[in-house]
Amino acid sequence: MRILGISAYYHDSAAAVVKDGEIAAAAQEERFSRKKHDARFPRNAAAWCLAATGGALGEGDCVVFYDKPLLKFERMLETYIGCAPRGLKSFLSSMPLWLKEKLNLKSTLKTELAALGASAAPLLFTEHHQAHAASAFFASPFGRAAVLCLDGVGEWATTSLWLGEGNALAPKWEIDFPHSLGLLYSAFTYHAGFKVNSGEYKLMGLAPYGEPKYADAILDNLIDLKPDGTFRLNMDYFNYEAGLTMTSRRFDALFGGPPRRPESALTQREMDNARSIQQVTEEVVMRLARTAHRELDAEYLCMAGGVALNCVAAGRIIREGPYHDVWIQPAAGDAGGALGAAMAAWHLYYEHPRTAAEVDLMRGAYLGPEFSDEEIRAALDAAGARYRRIDDAELLDRTAALLAGGRVVGWFQGRMEFGPRALGNRSILGDPRNREMQSVMNLKIKYRESFRPFAPSVLYEKAGDWFDLDRPSPYMALVAPVRETIRFPVAEEQLGVFGIDRLNLPRSSIPAVTHVDYSARIQTVHRETNPRFYELIRRFEARTGCPVLINTSFNVRGEPIVCTPADAWRCFMRTGMDFLVAGNCLMDKADQPSVPRDESWEKEIEPD
């Protein structure tokens, strides 16, 4: 039996197939359409998922959508009525789309599914947070766990607690719109001049450069936070309930003026605001996690929803929380709702049993398309690329040598990752020991802000020698400090350095992946899930004594992570990457045909 899960029409649409209870395929539509956070029906992703798992759906299969649109429409109407006459402009802008398309969503879905050869399959619907909770618990290795879902908003829920046990998932309580931790964080994202539903991770990365000067102001004015972590927002400071912006004039007055203009210079205000809301967010999440443990007497915690991607808060739960272990769905945002909807149908609707396993069911999140060596060479030949095809051993040795020599390498291998993180199959790699590498990769290759940190990929067995981490982190979901033993002492002349100037201070023997607060967002690499990437890092360690590589996603700012060999080639040629490794093909930028410089592509990609 195959179950096709679909998420669409808000942001990060995706498709996933659960086959006889196993996660068989999953991918975001953006990777195929090349439109970041693409919200349209995931026809390309769904078509690939079906083709990869047996073709058109047949008798006994089904389709599940991750949302209940009528409940969402009910929330919108009640919100507008409650705010009237304020919000008329927003109401008039959104209603035509709802009346034309979203209220007829079942018919729209049937039409799209017919084009995929899936019109005969029954169509089911989960609730939004139910899909999140299912994606976290049913994919986890735990037999019983508290499940905490935190995001902007689903139908009504913004925060919800569930108890997962066996093949059951029981809702316990929820906090409803407009009181939302995700939207509170997004309000500060907006005020910092970043894009909502896209730039929240930038705000998290900016936070260590600031001081929590406004944390008390947030707690005194914006959020009424209870000891158990439940909360209510003071809506006088926000405009998202019925307006077209996130914040109000009262918000602007409290936090130093109007929102920063996008792409303008970052100031200390944005850094301090980022640090302040990050500190408050961590406090809310910690209180909620402790409450979940106390109320459910659960020794394990699962998390999903966009706020679960706040890996700094997740790292604090690991270090300070009451749980034996925590598991976070790697595709915690809306894309993961497609997978959760399919798993909810398998276990909750069809009532199939579930047995906890020693490892999670995500297969390392390597759930997307892969390409044979013949397909890779055909794409490179069509592009006019000049490459050498070499065997595995030589390829890995040569790539390790290039990285040890300070070269930046595009690494395109195996199945594409599902979720927002590149985990060693669609990655750009570099040497973390190089003091200049963070700035070089940010500005010349990723074309993004210089302050943004890079993640380390480390051999799992060696992680504890370099980071204060005592467990696997295969999905880059946890932040942990670098070990004291590899940190550099702060020189006296550095004590007075603040803000963005701290970026240039070396902080450890792996400075390119050590953030200004001595933290790192860690991926532990395991031989069992990615033997090729594991072996590359092992050979890099043999040359350098360092079992760590910089691992950032294979894309430029504003572009989705590459999916195909042609995508990888285009990105390679548009950037300052030195080498590209695709399958067993090695390409040196210096050997490539000279082509006229064309910057028109930059206009096609909207900055995130």
Active site (annotated) includes residue 347: no
For the whole model, what pTM was predicted? 0.94
Place of tokens 């102001």: 217
User: How many whole angstroms separate alpha carbon 397 and alpha carbon 492?
Assistant: 42
| Model confidence at 492: pLDDT above 60 | no
Structural domains of the chain sorted by starting position, each given as residue range(s) with its CATH number in brackets: 2-128+332-365 (3.30.420.40), 181-325 (3.30.420.40), 373-604 (3.90.870.20)
Angle at 460 between CA 414 and CA 546, to 5 degrees: 95
Q: Where are the alpha helices (DSSP H) in 101-229?
A: 105-115, 128-137, 181-191, 200-206, 215-217
| Model confidence at 129: pLDDT above 80 | yes
User: How many whole angstroms separate alpha carbon 120 and alpha carbon 88?
Assistant: 41
Quote the radius of gyration of the chain (alpha carbons, Å).
Answer: 23
**pLDDT per position as a tens digit, 535-582:** 999 999 999 999 999 999 999 999 999 999 999 999 999 999 999 999
**pLDDT per position as a tens digit, 319-370:** 999 999 999 999 999 999 999 999 999 999 999 999 888 899 999 999 999 9
Range scoring the smallest mean pLDDT among 422-431, 438-447, 459-468, 592-601: 592-601
Contact between residue 186 and residue 194 where contact means Cβ atoms under 8 Å apart: no
| Model confidence at 423: pLDDT above 80 | yes
Range scoring the smallest mean pLDDT among 151-155, 447-451, 514-518, 587-591: 447-451
| Model confidence at 175: pLDDT above 60 | yes
Contact between residue 295 and residue 228 where contact means Cβ atoms under 8 Å apart: no
* Token output for 444: 């010349």
Q: How much helix, strand and coil, in percent to the nearest 5, is found in the chain?
A: 40, 20, 40
| Model confidence at 310: pLDDT above 70 | yes
Identity of the amino acid at 137: F
- pLDDT computed for residue 70 by the predictor: 78
| Model confidence at 99: pLDDT above 70 | no
Contact between residue 426 and residue 379 where contact means Cβ atoms under 8 Å apart: no
**pLDDT per position as a tens digit, 242-291:** 777 899 999 999 999 999 999 899 999 999 999 999 999 999 999 999 99
- Give me the catalytic one of 11, 37, 347, 515: 11
Identity of the amino acid at 380: L
- pLDDT computed for residue 439 by the predictor: 83
Which residues does 283 contact at the CB level (< 8 Å), separation at least 6?
Answer: 225
Range scoring the smallest mean pLDDT among 42-46, 98-102, 113-117, 172-176: 98-102
